[in-house]
Each structure stands twice: as structure tokens, then as C-alpha cells.
Amino acid sequence: MTEPDAPSRADATRARLLAAAAAAFAERGFHGTTTRDIAAAAGMSPAAVYVHYKSKEQLLHQLSKVGHQRIIEAIDDVDDAADSPADRLARAVRAFATHHATAHTSVRVVNYELDALTEEHRAEIGALRREITRRMRAIVDAGVADGSFDTPDPRMATIAVLSSGIDIGRWYHDGGEITPEQIGDFYADLALRTVGATTLDTQQ
């Protein structure tokens, strides 16, 4: 193995472990999953897991960190402050909801196993969650400020939009009649209705 190959091989192994951990945590719960379960799902020995992650909790932390960072990136990729608040909200929520459907297994773990994190890691993930809320709330506030949204409580409207999107990870499964893209479109429309948008004619 050449030196340049080493990082990519290690990254691939870590990715395989994260995928195995997400599947195991989703099926058995964090406390019901052992390191041996994760190793078996990844096709590795239990000892090999510790080469890359010191503990089961560290795997959960990495899953949570990466998962929340991807949501922030997904919102940033589609948001443009120069656009109308309605278009911005529709795009942001569409990306948010589509991600929660596409990555439903890891999303379910990330959102419902937070209590298993250490206090330090929970605080770190909490900061990322607040940043997601801040981004979405800024769009809602912009719509209220220019009169394109009519909601008496922007804070609660933002919470409602995010909470409904997060719940997708709980009930969505692969192979159903509804696609992640259809979910994204539906939730984008639902978000506009939640904030009292004066127009629902937004760009897809």
C-alpha cells in the first residue's frame, strides 16, 4: 500500500463503521447495541473498531456531528439571501425534508439517541442544532419583516416546520410509494402554509 492510499483506505473504513453503527443503533437502540454488533455489520473484528473509534459513544458522536453538518450544508447550498423569503423557505425546507427522507436511518439515530452522548458531545451537537434553527428562523423573520409571511409567532412557526421535518426520519422507509423528492415538495408547501405565506407559487 502506497502512502497516498492510506488516508483514503482509513476514510473508507471509518465510513463503513459509521454506516454499520447507524444501522445497528436504528434497529436496536444505542444501549441495545454492542461494539461486536457494529463490527459484525461492518465485516470487521471488534478489536479493529477501536483502531478508528475509542468507544461506541464516539461513533454516535461522529454520526451526530456529520449528520447535523450535512443539514447545514444542504440548507446553505440552496439558500440565497437575495431571493424572496418564500422561495428561500421553500428551498430550505425542501432540502431539509428530502435529506431526512433519504438519510432516514442515520437521521433517526441522530435525533433520538442524543441522551446517550456525553455532556460535552451533547453540548457540541446542541450548538449545531441551534445553528440549524437560527438559519431557518432568519428566513422566517425575513418574510415577516417584508410582509410576505403572516404568522403571530415566528419562533413557534420555525419550531413547527423543523419538528415536522425531523419526524420524517421516524416513519419514512425505503421502498414505499412516496419518494424523498415528493416529501420535499410537500413539506416545502406545508412550511409556507405554516408561516402564512401570501403566495404559494415558489420555484421548485
Task: Give Cα separations from 79 to 48, 60, 70, 87, 158 (angstroms).
Answer: 41, 29, 14, 9, 16
**pLDDT at 146 > cutoff 90:** yes
For the chain, the average pLDDT equals: 90
In the DSSP assignment, the letter for residue 116 is G
Task: Give Cα separations from 107 to 42, 115, 122, 184, 186 (angstroms).
Answer: 19, 15, 16, 15, 19
Among residues 149, 152, 164, 150, which one has the least CA distance to residue 86?
149
In this structure, of 32-46, 110-124, 177-191, the range with the lowest mean pLDDT score is 32-46
Determine the pLDDT at residue 7: 57
pLDDT band at 174 (very low <50, low <70, confident <90, very high): confident
Enter the C-alpha cell of residue 131.
445553528
**Mind listing the pLDDT tens digit for each residue in 17-50?**
999 999 999 889 999 999 999 998 888 888 888 8
Q: Which residue has the higher pLDDT, 92 or 3?
A: 92
**pLDDT at 158 > cutoff 60:** yes
Is the pTM value of this prediction over 0.85? yes
